[in-house]
């Protein structure tokens, strides 16, 4: 099995703190050991001291894709205080999902994984 590239965006005004929190959540996940989890910053605007995060990108082995999606779904349910909408892109496929603290993290992850891996041999 090869590697896959994933990108996560939080579809909200000012998602910077949530992106930083999710990046830490994913980086601490032992199931993703060996994967590259990177916080992608916007270009620095004039007068800004630094770039603001706009997304998370991950380079991971295909066999840990389910663990990665599970961790994203877990974060979405466990670490947010209100419904939050995210976009997850894996290679050439993407899914948008909205979830919050009252949703089942397993169901959220299953929905994302089903849409991202339909017709694929992972």
Second-level CATH architecture of 3-117: 2-Layer Sandwich (3.30)
> Which residues are CB-contacts of 24 (< 8 A; sequence separation ≥ 6)?
none
Q: What is the pLDDT of residues 17-70, one digit of tens each?
A: 999 999 999 999 999 988 999 999 988 878 877 778 999 999 999 899 999 999
Separation between Cα atoms, residue 78 and residue 100, nearest integer Å = 8
Separation between Cα atoms, residue 59 and residue 48, nearest integer Å = 29
What is the predicted pLDDT for the residue at 6? 97
What is the predicted pLDDT for the residue at 121? 60
pLDDT band at 1 (very low <50, low <70, confident <90, very high): low
**65-78 vs 16-27: helix axis angle to the nearest 10?**
130
What is the predicted pLDDT for the residue at 2? 87
Q: List, in sequence order, the alpha helices (H) in the chain.
A: 16-27, 65-78, 105-117
Separation between Cα atoms, residue 55 and residue 52, nearest integer Å = 9
Token pair 């706009």: residue = 54
What is the predicted pLDDT for the residue at 111? 95
Evaluate if residue 122 carries a pLDDT over 60: no
């Amino acid at each position: 099995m090869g590697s896959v590239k994933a990108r996560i965006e939080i579809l909200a005004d000012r998602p910077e703190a949530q992106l930083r929190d999710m990046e830490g959540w994913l980086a601490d996940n032992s199931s993703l050991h060996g994967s590259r989890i990177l916080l992608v910053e916007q270009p620095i605007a004039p007068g800004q001291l630094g770039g603001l995060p706009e997304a998370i990108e991950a380079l991971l082995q295909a066999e840990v894709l389910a663990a990665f999606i599970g961790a994203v779904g877990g974060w979405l349910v466990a670490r947010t205080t209100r419904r939050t909408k995210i976009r997850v892109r894996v290679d050439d496929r993407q899914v948008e999902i909205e979830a919050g603290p009252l949703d089942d993290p397993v169901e959220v992850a299953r929905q994302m994984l089903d849409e991202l891996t339909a017709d694929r041999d992972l």
